[in-house]
Chain A
Amino acid sequence: MPIKTLIIEPGLAERHYWRDIWHYRELFHVLAWRDITVRYKQTVIGLAWAILQPLLTMVVFTVIFGKLAKLPSEGEAPYALMVFAGMLPWQFFATSLSSASQSLIGNANLISKVYFPRLIVPTAAIVVSFVDFLVSFTILLAMMLWYQFLPSWQILTLPLFVLMAALAVLGPGLWITSLNVKYRDFRYVIPFIVSMGLYVSPVGFSSSVIPEQWRLLYSVNPVVGVIDGFRWAILGDEAEFYWSGFVMSWGVIAFFLWLGIRQFRSMEKSFADLI
């Protein structure tokens, strides 16, 4: 077996960064597997929780926005189905954001004792939320059966929008989690973003109710693009695709990704000293 030479020098870790991450992919799987196992071990109702939460919120939103405020749905799609199609990515976004932001602090003992590319930790946290997402997704299938709603070919594009949601959460998640190492009060930002975002994003209503002249500005919120994409994929032709907003959302996502990765990598070296 050839002997591998490793050189440690200030700033050298930077150059092999992405290669290192690939090298540690097994640890990534193991950490994600650990979080998933623990998550469903510690709770009695485990799975039920992932089902109950979006289901109840969906019922409340359908009653308030659909029945009381009488907002229009996307085309002819049932209002409940439209709300749930937005609820899915939103839940994914919110849970990933909170777990990714807490991930470094939660793994403090690992970070101060073992070397591995730290980027693995918040990314693995997002994977855990993805499992919850898959569980909630089964409710959507059940609802489609209930409403006798047949999705079109567009549902095949759904994985693309799931990826978009994951990238949308990765940027802010990385940014907050690295600042959280130094300033523990950044964790208070999360519940605030999550509770406000639920109403700011088009979860309980269709984004077509936003006046045309404001629609592009509204899409600065990257979740808008994700939710619109989900509705387009799930509801098919009932939902129209708003291209300029979609492009705008991608731009914002890319910006946050750049910001998050930059912040994370510049602070990464000092995590072990600070945590």
Chain B
Amino acid sequence: MSDIAIKVEGLSKVYFVGHNISSAERYTALRDVIARNVRNLTRKTRDMLQGRPIIQGDEIEEFWALKDVSFEIKQGETVGIIGSNGAGKSTLLKILSRITEPTKGRITLQGRVASLLEVGTGFHPELTGRENIFLNGAILGMARAEIQRKFDEIVSFAEIESFLDTPVKRYSSGMYVRLAFAVAAHLEPEILIVDEVLAVGDAQFQKKCLGKMNEVAKAGRTVLFVSHQMTAIMSLCQNTILLADGRVRTIGTTENVVTEYLRSRQTFYDDLTQAPRRAGEGNVRFVGYRVKRTDLSGPAIGASKSGLIVEVDLRSSIGRIEDLLVSIGVSSNIGEFLFSCPSTISPPTTNIISGNDIFTARLEFKSAPLSPGTYRLNFYCELRGTVQDYLTDVGALDIEYACRDEGEDLLSSLRRKGVLVDYHWTI
């Protein structure tokens, strides 16, 4: 018997995405429309008769969610998987948990696999806590006898003793999540696949979950753990796999891989010319923006320690302009306004810009006073009291932390996210 628990060889998964080409054409000819519809109808009928899924749209494009992914994980190892959105993390987990089939490649798993892609899968609001423990356990693959054996342990871990016979629809969201995680935490497979489930519950419970995960890992089980929380990844996993565009970018020790990941996301550019919903006269428009992180040294990076630079590109269509007011605002992920930085105060900036060209305005934060999470940016510019361009909730600003510093660790589990003020206590 080899000591490889998970072996993935050349794994690929393709999705077919349909496009409508009619909207891309300059004008529509009836002849083309008829020809296209006939072609679509025959294709769809053929797919339906052969029992294949039918794809909407005129043109079918292949999208490789995973492409030729290979790696090996040893027995008893805890491995993290990171990558930006759309890198293929979820697809990989879905294939490993057999929810969907790969298009190509082969996976060999040694031992029982349990996957936890969501807490409380299959919980039914009408059923009581007790009933849901059995239901959820069975869904996660526990035998009835096994659940019975661990029942008391699960209940005490979840701290819901007095609500066992209450329907879970009357539970507070905290109780619900605790119960759900408690069931999952008592799974005893040889291989455990976990997706982002720690991002729930309050700080205290999160700590408890992390502790439980650590315990699982120490008991010699193989754990595959996907998360956006670099802190959690760094405290749990020895090795980490970085995925990018459906491929394995790097495999290595967590510290190195996390650093590489953060470095790759150091600069971020987004085009704003196509942005929907914008207000203003339009003589000056935002065309793009960049976010850079300054001072990236070593693995222990807290964005609050490193600086942040936001650069915006603007285009003027009226030639020479004077005293342009530019402002960048930051709001939370749910759209709450947090703060803005107008160019007219702190310190007031005057400017004269000539020509119809694109020019760049640069806003620098000595330190980014934000707790970890995703934020949205607002862009605003004004010329002598007239709004020229106003864009709300464009672009995402991801603030990530990666450090083993105890203080930062607590920070990432802050329940109410928001602005971090530079303060000092004397008690």
Contacts and interface: CB of A to CB of B under 8 A. Distances in A.
Do A and B associate with each other? yes
Interface of A: 3-11, 13, 26-27, 30, 34, 37-38, 41-42, 107, 109-116, 182, 262-263, 266-267, 269-270, 272-274
A269 B101 contact: yes
B107 A7 contact: yes
B100 A273 contact: yes
Interface string B91-107: 00011111111111111
Given A109-B121, A266-B52, A267-B51, A115 B99 contact: yes
Interface in B1-58: 1, 15, 50-54
Contact of B111 (A3, A112, A182): A3
10 contacts: A7-B107, A8-B95, A10-B103, A38-B124, A109-B122, A115-B98, A182-B54, A263-B51, A266-B51, A273-B15
B109 A10 contact: no
A182 B109 CA distance: 31
A6 B95 CA distance: 13
Interface in B230-264: none
Given A10-B101, A114-B97, A3 B106 contact: no
Contacts of A116: 139
Secondary structure dominating the interface of B: loop
B110 A37 contact: no
B106 A8 contact: yes
Given A34-B127, A270-B53, A7 B101 contact: no
B17 to A, nearest CB: 11
Given A7-B107, A8-B102, A269-B101, A274 B121 contact: no
Given A9-B107, A116-B139, A270-B53, 16 more contacts: A5-B109, A7-B106, A10-B104, A26-B143, A30-B135, A30-B138, A30-B139, A34-B135, A37-B127, A110-B122, A111-B99, A113-B117, A114-B97, A114-B121, A272-B94, A274-B53
B409 interface: no
Contacts of B150: none
B98 A8 contact: yes
A6 B109 contact: yes
A249 to B, nearest CB: 25
Q: Which of under 10, 10 to 19, 20 to 34, or 35 or more describes the interface residues of B?
A: 35 or more
A123 B397 CA distance: 47
Nearest to A181: B53
A13 B109 contact: no
B144 A37 contact: no
A30 B121 CA distance: 14
Contact of B102 (A10, A38, A263, A266): A10
Contacts of A8: 95-96, 98, 101-102, 106-107, 109
A3 B5 CA distance: 10
Interface centre among A30, A37, A274, by most chain B C-beta atoms within 10 angstroms, is A30
A262 B51 contact: yes
A27 B138 contact: yes
A183 to B, nearest CB: 8
B226 to A, nearest CB: 14
B190 A3 contact: yes
Contact of A37 (B53, B54, B131): B131
Nearest to B104: A10
Contact of B98 (A13, A38, A112): A13
